[in-house]
Structure 1
Amino acid sequence: MSRRFLLRLLAAMAVAVVPSVSMPTSAPPNAEVYIIWPPDGAVITGGKFWIRMGLRNMGVCPKGIESSKCGHHHLLIDVDLPPLDKEIPSDKNHLHFGAGETDARIELPPGKHTLQLLLGDAKHVPFDPPLYSKKITITVK
């Protein structure tokens, strides 16, 4: 084998063993995510209601669109913010709106509940800096 071939082979092998590092998606400094409805302190009769989600100075897009100018909503129900450097969980307390929805009909059991939005990037990871709304409390009767 030629020296040149061996050097190329070694370089290719070195690249192959280096794990890929995913950098967080940068968010514009003036972006803001917020809950339009329901308002903090709302009392909701029955368990079903519409939540309306807002985003300022960025666009809403479906999952898989890699851009620092758009993301998609995740609704956190009765939980604190998840780790902000990892993929947002997907379960009954972390609802994903990966189709780019800005409103959704949800159902909650009677009682007090907290709601908070967290914006995710193409891979459901929070932006850097993370964009999350104020946590609100509602009561379902």
Structure 2
Amino acid sequence: MPKRRLLAIATSLLLLAPAAYAQLRTMPETARVYILWPSDGQVIRGAFWVRMGLADAGIAPAGVEKANTGHHHLLIDVDLPPLDQPIPNDRNHLHFGLGQTEARIDLPPGRHTLQLLLGDETHTPHQPPLHSRRITVTVTP
């Protein structure tokens, strides 16, 4: 194959990759994500279970491309990340890519904010983004 043709094919693939990546997933208009427990203002002693809810959509593990599904990400003590990029993965952005709907969380004593953000199979928020309201909890020793 001539070098010029190989270069044209490689260039086409590079141009297509960002377009494919930019195809953000949508969800039904009625879909919503929420924190079942704890409730806003809750005082909690030690480690606790966060229970995550999703209505009018489904849960699917990371890497599984299926319409109207996603998986939870728990944001702790941070604002929403950029909503057109994959959600960070660190101590403030917990990924539940296996499709978990509850998790045991151990936070230091004090006030903390919790918020859920649903991500698609690539950990990217849907469009429009599907996130819960931010709640505040106080952890005591």
Q: Provide the TM-score with structure 1 as the length reference.
A: 0.89
AA aligned to 1:134 is R
**Higher mean C-alpha deviation, range 102-111 or range 20-29:** 20-29
Shift in Å at residue 8 of structure 1? 6.9
CA offset digits 1:79-121 (Å, max 9, x no partner): 0000000000000000000000000001000000000000000
Q: Secondary structure at the match of 2:89?
A: coil
Q: How many residues align?
A: 137
1:135 aligns with 2:137: no
Please say if residues 74 and 117 of structure 2, whose CA atoms lie closer than 8 Å, have aligned partners that are also in contact: yes
Write out the 4+ residue segments of structure 1 that deviate beyond 6 Å after TM superposition: 7-10
* Partner of residue 83, structure 2: 84
Structure 1 gap ranges (5+): none
Please say if residues 108 and 139 of structure 2, whose CA atoms lie closer than 8 Å, have aligned partners that are also in contact: yes
- The structure whose Rg is larger is 1
CA offset digits 1:35-86 (Å, max 9, x no partner): 000000000012x000000000001110011123110000000000000000
Structure 2 gap ranges (5+): none
Shift in Å at residue 11 of structure 1? 5.8
Separation of aligned partners in 2, 1:118 and 1:16: 31
Q: Provide the TM-score with structure 2 as the length reference.
A: 0.89
Shift in Å at residue 16 of structure 1? 3.4
* Partner of residue 37, structure 1: 37
